[in-house]
Amino acid sequence: MRRSKLFNQTRASLALSYAGVMGVILSLLGFGVYEAIAHAHWMNLDRELESVAGTLHDSLELKLKQPGNLEPIVYDLFPNLCLVGTNCVKEGTDRERFAPYSRGAAAPALRDRHVLSAIKQDNYYIRLFDTSGRLIAIAGAYPEGLPEALDNERWQTLSDRQGNVYHQISLDLHTQDKKPWGYFQVGRSLKDFEDYLNRVKYALISGLPLSMILVGGASWWLAGLAMQPIYKSYKQIEQFTADAAHELRTPLAASLATVESALLLPEIEDKEAREVLTTIERQHRRLTQLVADLLLLARMDKQPAPLRHQLCCLNDLVSDLVEELAALAIAAKLMLALEIRTKTPLEVAGNEDQLYRLVSNLIVNAIQSTPANGKVTVILEQSDRHAVIRIRDTGIGIAPSEQKRIFDRFYRVESDRSRTSGGSGLGLAIAMAIARAHQGSLTVQSELGKGSTFIIQLPLAAAYKTELKPQNS
C-alpha cells in the first residue's frame, strides 16, 4: 500500500518517539541493574571482610598478653606475619607467605583455618598497629604504597600509589585481660570486584545499541500498525469527499448549462422559459435531496442511536408502504405483494420517519432492479424477540463481489450506473445507518440473474417496554 508523505512522516516520528522513550527506559533499567549488581557485590564484600576480620580478631585477642607486643604464639595464627622493619615482605613469594603450616607451626583451629583460607587468596592483607598508631606488623598480600598512618575509622576505601583501590575494616584490639593493645585491620584489593563490574558495564553498554536497533524496528512496525485504522478512515473520507463533490457537480453543471443556453437566445418565449425553469427545478430538487441525505448520514454518524420517542407498528408501516408504492410497481409492470406472517402487531421503538425511509428505500430499489413481469414481495414476520422484514424480488440480482460494497456511501453497481437510475448511491448506506441506529441489522442474500432478498431485523419494543416500566410506574 503506497502511502502519502504525511503518513510516512507521521509514522517515522511516531516510531522515533517510541524508540526514544524505550531507549530512555532501557538505559534507566540498565543503570538500575548495574547499580543493583554493584550494591549486592559491595554488601557481600563487606560481609566477607567483616566475618574474616571478626574471626581473626577474636582469635588474636585470646593470644595477646602485653599491649603492643606480639607473642610468638601469634605466628601460629599468621605464620606469614612480618614485623615492620624486617625484609620478609619483599623476600617471600606469595606462595610462601600463604603457606601457614610449612614452617612446622602448629595448625590453627578448624574455624581459623576456614578464615585463613579466605585470606590466603592473593588479594587480602592484615595490618597491626599499636595504641599510638604505629604500624607494627603486616600479613598477606600487602600492597606497596598503601598509606601507613593509622586511620581507625571502621570502614575505609583507599588506594595505593598505582591507583589500585582497597577496602578495609579497622577493629580495636585488646589483650587477654581487656587492656587496649592497638588496632587490627583486614583489607582486600577491589581489583576483581572492579573487573567484574567493568565486564557488567561493558555488556550492558554494548547491549544497548543492539536493543535500540531491535526497538527501532519494532517501533516502526508498531507505528505502522497504529496508523492503519487512521489511514483507512482517511482514505474513506478522501473517497467520500471526492464522491460527494462529483454527485453535487452533476446537477449544478446541468443547471448551469441550461441557464447558459437559454441566455444565448435573443428572445425567450414563455413555453421555453417554463421548460428551462422546470429543468432547473428538477436539478435543484436532486441537489436538495442529496444534501438532505448527506446531512442525515452525518447526523447519524454523530449520534448513532435515535431518541426512542415513538412506538411504530410495523404491520401498519409495511401495509402503508406497499399501498403507496403500488402505483410505481404498476408503472414498472410488475407485481408488488405483501405477506404478513404474524397475527399480533409487531411494534418497534424508534423514529417512524426513519423506519419508513428504511423500508421504502429497499422496496423502491427492488422495483427498480426487477424487470417487467417480475415480482416484489414484502414479508413481515417475528423471530424470537425480533421483527423481520424481507423484501424479496425476482430481479437482476447482485454479484457476490458487490454484495458487501453496495452498503458503502455513493457505491453503485456497474449495471446500475449504465442504467442511470438517477440514484446517488446513498440509499442503502442510509438504510443501513437507520437499521443500526435502531439496534437492528440489514443484510442481503442475492443471486445474479435470479433476484435478491434484503432482510431487516429490528428488536421488538417489548424489550424496551420492560426497560422503561420502572420509570413509568
Can you give the binding site for ligand ADP, defined by CB under 6 A?
365-366, 369, 393, 395-396, 398, 406, 411-413, 416, 423-429, 452
Nearer to ligand ADP, 100 or 374 (CB): 374
Nearest approach, Cβ of residue 265 and ligand ADP (Å): 34
- The Cα–Cα gap between 246 and 169 comes to 89
- Which grid cell sits at 114? 576456614
Nearer to ligand ADP, 223 or 378 (CB): 378
- Closest CB to ligand ADP: residue number: 423
Q: Phi, psi (5° rounding) for residue 393?
A: -130, 165
Q: Are 125 and 145 in contact (CB under 8 A)?
A: no
Query: Cβ distance 444 to 311 under 8 Å?
Result: no
What is residue 462's three-state secondary structure? helix
Taking the complex as a whole, the smallest distance from the CB of residue 233 to ligand ADP amounts, in Å, to 20
CB nearer ligand ADP, residue 49 or residue 358: 358
Q: Minimum CB separation from ligand ADP for residue 348, in Å?
A: 22
Residue among 306 and 427 whose Cβ is closer to ligand ADP: 427
Q: Which is nearer to ligand ADP, 65 or 246 (by Cβ)?
A: 246
- Among residues 142 and 410, whose Cβ is nearest to ligand ADP? 410
Strands 335-340 and 375-383: parallel
CB of residue 289 to ligand ADP, shortest distance in Å? 10
Any alpha helices (H) in 179-190, and if so which ranges?
Answer: none
Q: Are the C-beta atoms of residues 96 and 80 closer than 8 Å to each other?
A: yes
The minimum distance between CB 406 and ligand ADP, in angstroms, equals 4
> Nine-digit cell at 323?
399501498
Q: Shortest distance, CB of residue 398 to ligand ADP, whole angstroms?
A: 5
Residue closer to ligand ADP, measured from CB, 11 or 392: 392
Assigned C-alpha cell, 440: 437492528
Question: How far, in whole angstroms, is CA 421 from its chain's centroid?
Answer: 48
The CB-of-422 to ligand ADP minimum distance in angstroms stands at 7
Angle between helices 427-437 and 352-368 (to 10 degrees): 140
Work out whether strand 124-130 and strand 335-340 pair parallel, antiparallel, or are unpaired: unpaired
Among 226, 232, 206, residue whose Cα is nearest residue 17: 226
Nearest CB to ligand ADP, comparing residues 67 and 423: 423
Q: How far is the CB of 444 from ligand ADP (least distance, A)?
A: 8
Shortest CB 242 distance to ligand ADP, Å: 17
Query: Would you say 349 or 358 has its CB closer to ligand ADP?
Result: 358
Whether 170 contacts 195, CB under 8 Å: no
Instruction: Give Dmax over CA atoms of the chain in angstroms.
Output: 143
The grid coordinates of residue 133 equal 598508631
Alpha helices in 303-413 (DSSP H): 314-331, 352-368, 400-403
Cβ burial, residue 42 (10 Å; 0-12/13-18/19+): middle
